[in-house]
Amino acid sequence: MLLVPFVLLLFSSYVFGQDEAAEGPIIGGIFYKNSDDLKVALEVGAKTFNFRTSIKEVSARGDVLGISKYVCELAEEGVIGIIDGTGGRASENIQALCDMLELPHVSIQHNDLYNDDWSVLNMQPSPSAYNMVLEELILHKEWRNFTVLYIKDYSMMRVSELLHLGNKTHPYVVSVRELSGDDYREVLIDAKHNGYTNFVVDCPSRNLEQLLLHAQQVGMMTDEHSYIFVSPDLFTLDMSRYRYGGVNMTGLRMVELNKTDNEKLWNFTMTFNQETGKTLEAEELKTQLLLVHDAVEIFAAAIKKVHVEAEQLSCENYKAWDYGSTLLNFMKTNKVDGITRSLIFNGLGDRTDVTFDILELTPAGNQTIGAWKNNRLIMDRPIVADAEIAQEPALRNKTLKVLIAISPPYGYYKLSHEKLEGNDRYEGFTIDIIDRLSQILGFNYEFEEEKDYGSLGENGWTGMCLALREDKADLAICDFTMTAERQMGIDFSTPFMTLGIGILYKQPSKQPPEMFSFMAVFSKEVWYYMVLIQVALGVTMIFVGHISYKEWQNPVPCIESPEELNNQFSFANSVWLIIGSVMQQGSEIAPIALAPRMITSVWWFFTMVMVASYVGTLVAFLIVEKNVMPFKTVEELYNHKSISYGAKKKGSTKQFFEESTSPIYQGMFKKMTRNGWLVGDNDVGVLKAETQQYAFFMESTSLEYYKERHCDLLQVGGLLDSKSYGIGMKKQSPYKKYIDDALLHMKERGEIEKMKNIWWKEKRGGGKCGEKHDEEQKQLGMKNMLGAFVVLGVGSLIGLFISIIDMLWGVFKRSVKYSTTFRYELVEELKFVIKFRGNIKPVKRNQKKSIEGSFEALAKAEGKDDIRSLHSIRSTETHRTHHSHSSRHSSRSLSVAFAKRRSYS
């Protein structure tokens, strides 16, 4: 009977072992937390080739300790390799540990931080492959001069060979421009003014969209400009907005989109969309996602040829995987056809033999014009400039119905003493845009007002969107925000204005400087160090003064061989010298020896610099009156108890809060609706912001308009989002491409910006708040100087308090010394003080019979005191000596003590 459980145990172990083996080996993955698509791509690839995955998420860039921990955890789990999606220094750290453990390391990021002896496979094409294809393209285009644009802190290895084209042996002029920060327009404008028209752009795919947008905004997307983009992700973006400007854009693509030739791509796309809930087309997938799939396929192809056994490794005992180097060698030498075509590596793990499609942007869309294969450039057609399409515009002589809204400054009723009819009734920014478009494209138009911009509700579309969908209007233009919801029902033109949501709030009254604002000249840290260094320097001066023999002086100059020497550098005197220097007042303490003088001189120089810095900045802190904002960010506004806030009841601003996933924005929306803080239109919101404790959320362009006319309003903080205004039209409108082309033409010529300046800063009260008035020279009032008076008063009171304590202590000592009462001594002291009779004070007092003890006893006590005083002066106990001005221990004090003794009366 005992054999039955044993047999069952063996059977279950065998079954579970078979299940575990059937699941396949484990592939590790290390990605950043925001790289969700890469993680899904690894999961999809692993399922395709029957692998299991273990994915680690790195919280932030530069987290070296976290990355090391994750690599060791993956090794302990028994992975057969690590797919690395981090790049940069993080990849270098991963590779160092993989080298030690002999774990295959596959990187999908472009990375130049590698050594020849690294055991790594880089799925990205090598820098040499990029350099070769780019050089051939430049030679084919016959560019004699070009500019390399690259992102700051991004490696230029992929274009390094192009810089050699500018040496003496090549007839090329090569310039380089660095794009830094979040705004590339300044660099692009500079390149435009210098006459540069040909550009090679090397930047990560995440920066492409912003770079293209800024290039369009500065007028560098015209037919005279040509670009070659290094990133293979250029044509994964929506390029429709740039198609009609005539710009020549050339890019690379690593995948074959032919469905029959690349079935893996379509299967991967379908599975990826199912896992993520997205609806991406195959040509929209980023290259890194496809490289993750190919990395898994390389592992699968190598395991088919070599049998490996996974092993749990440990970073602590430095044990290497027995099969690691063998597996990696097969991965390097094995030829695999992946989604990104042939995966061939050299001995260093670089992917040098790469196939690219050469694509170009045309008015008809993306077009393949050639290929790079077997290290040769093969062009299917010659590169020629796009000829202007001679076609009669579809809008010529047509009359379009255009929906507008009366929303300043986009649309106004025209001010006139006469009754106006038709289009003459309206004026404004968008009215001028339609008028200019009609001049360019040759169409006529009729305006019709519509207050509701349109949205998708329970009963279907409303407002402008409904009218466009039902062909009741041809165009709609106003502050018409391009939202994802609206784009489901209608089309928009290329944006004519980019904006975001801002906060409008009344300008707070200026607050006078704080009472102790003069203390704010230096930071707390500086004040702390000033106090600390004075104490430390005081101790240093005592030490230096005591070891310098010249500082030990004869207290009685008339005696050639004194029994005692005095030193002036007591702690009190040293601190007094230091403080006097800081206050620029000096002191009676004068160093004699060289070392104390040197230290004192350096200290004087230091105080000169500090005082000059303090005085130079002090005036600003005393006279500047600051605006104290009750909030500076949305979070602070949300947590504020006494300020209400809101937006328009209908529009994209309210929709932004309603659909936001942020807990703060959701909470703000609930409070707006619950408390009735939403308003009907912008004018009401602006009035509330001006007269109440109310913050109004509105689009930045409208906010800028109202700021020009209401000088007591301002924008608080930055923009909450980014969006655009466009001209609405029905889906598949035949007018779209012509309107897009005309709008781009107007942008490039700066016409839209001129119109904006007219309606924002000139007409209808614009520019009112831009006027500057000369102010009288500001005087310092008592509110500015109150702090200095307070310091003076408090310091004087503290000094008075200390002097009273000192007096009481002296009274107490005399009462003990002369066996009198404390009250009697205090009264005698006060009598002398209130007389204000010079600076000489007698030692003996009048006889008081009521006190305990006789006259003889008191005289005897004072006689003993005289003898004790004389003895103490002649004593050789050096620890009781003091500075020469001390009344008890100097020769002058001795003479005064005996000369001024008064007799009893």
CATH 3.40.50.2300 fits 127-253+355-379, yes or no: yes
Helix-then-strand count for the chain, H and E = 28, 34
- Helix, strand, coil percentages in the chain from 3-state DSSP, rounded to 5: 45, 15, 40
Residue carrying structure tokens 């009156």? 625
| 699 annotated ligand-binding residue | yes
Residue carrying structure tokens 């005996």? 898
Longest Cα–Cα distance of the chain, Å, equals: 134
Classify each residue of 622-636 as buried b or exposed e, where b means 16 or more C-beta atoms within 10 Å of its C-beta. beeeeeeeebeebee
**203 close to 184: Cβ distance less than 8 angstroms:** no
For residue 882, how many other CB atoms are within 10 A of its CB?
A: 18
pTM beyond 0.75: the answer is no
| 652 annotated ligand-binding residue | yes
**122 close to 113: Cβ distance less than 8 angstroms:** no
Supply the pLDDT for residue 747. Answer: 83
The per-residue pLDDT for range 885-895, each reduced to its tens digit, is 333 344 444 44
Supply the pLDDT for residue 461. Answer: 92
Cα separation of 644 and 668, whole Å? 10
Q: How far apart are the first and last CA of the chain?
A: 129
Q: Please, is 191 exposed, middle or buried when counting C-beta atoms within 10 Å of its C-beta (0-12, 13-18, 19+)?
A: buried
Local structure of residue 151 (DSSP, 8 states): E
Q: Where are the domains of the chain?
A: 24-124+285-336, 127-253+355-379, 399-499+738-758, 501-512+625-721, 521-617, 798-899
* Contacting residues for 416 by C-beta, under 8 A, at least 6 apart: none
Cα separation of 663 and 671, whole Å? 12
Q: 3-state SS of 76-99?
A: HHCCCCEEECCCHHHHHHHHHHHH
**204 close to 236: Cβ distance less than 8 angstroms:** no
Within 364-453, where are the H helices? 429-441
Helix axes 700-707, 682-691, angle to 10 degrees: 50
Residue carrying structure tokens 């854009």? 249
Q: Return the beta strands (E) in 312-362 as ranges.
A: 336-338, 341-343, 356-362
| 169 annotated ligand-binding residue | no
Q: Which of 263, 328, 323 lies closest to 293 in space, CA to CA? A: 263
Local structure of residue 234 (DSSP, 8 states): G
Question: What H or E segment, with its residue span, contains residue 176?
Answer: strand 173-179
How distant, in Å, are the alpha carbons of 550, 744, 802, 810, 861 from that of 816? 40, 101, 21, 10, 11
Query: What class does CATH assign to 501-512+625-721?
Result: alpha beta
Cα separation of 892 and 822, whole Å? 30
Supply the pLDDT for residue 263. Answer: 86
Question: What H or E segment, with its residue span, contains residue 760?
Answer: helix 751-761
301 three-class SS: helix
Residue carrying structure tokens 């860039």? 61
Residues with pLDDT less than 70, the chain:
1-22, 62, 112-118, 167-170, 244-245, 259-261, 363-364, 381-394, 509-521, 544-552, 554, 565, 584-588, 593, 616-628, 767-768, 770-797, 799-800, 803, 833-905
Supply the pLDDT for residue 655. Answer: 83
Length in residues, the chain: 905
**629 close to 716: Cβ distance less than 8 angstroms:** yes
**708 close to 766: Cβ distance less than 8 angstroms:** yes
Supply the pLDDT for residue 449. Answer: 92
Supply the pLDDT for residue 115. Answer: 55
* Contacting residues for 652 by C-beta, under 8 A, at least 6 apart: 481, 483, 699, 723
Q: Which of 154, 170, 107, 160 lies closest to 130 in space, CA to CA? A: 160
Superfamily for 399-499+738-758? Periplasmic binding protein-like II (3.40.190.10)
Residue type, position 393, single letter: P
**887 close to 898: Cβ distance less than 8 angstroms:** no
| 709 annotated ligand-binding residue | no
CATH 1.20.120.550 fits 24-124+285-336, yes or no: no
Cα separation of 881 and 872, whole Å? 9
Cα 348 to chain centroid, rounded: 38
Do the strands 336-338 and 626-627 form a parallel or antiparallel pair, or are they unpaired? unpaired
| 819 annotated ligand-binding residue | no
The per-residue pLDDT for range 258-317, each reduced to its tens digit, is 766 678 999 999 999 999 999 999 999 999 999 999 999 999 999 998 888 999 999 888
Classify each residue of 280-315 as buried b or exposed e, where b means 16 or more C-beta atoms within 10 Å of its C-beta. eebeebbbbbbbbbbbbbbbbbbbeeeebeebebeb
Q: Which of 325, 327, 355 lies closest to 343 in space, CA to CA? A: 355
Intrachain domains 24-124+285-336 and 127-253+355-379 with the same fold: yes
Helix axes 36-48, 263-276, angle to 10 degrees: 120
Any idea which fold 521-617 has? Helix Hairpins (1.10.287)
Q: Which two tokens stand for residue 291?
A: 């490289």
The C-alpha angle 755, 757, 761, rounded to 5 degrees, equals: 135
Cα separation of 324 and 119, whole Å? 10
Sign of CA dihedral 344, 345, 351, 352: negative
For residue 791, how many other CB atoms are within 10 A of its CB?
A: 14
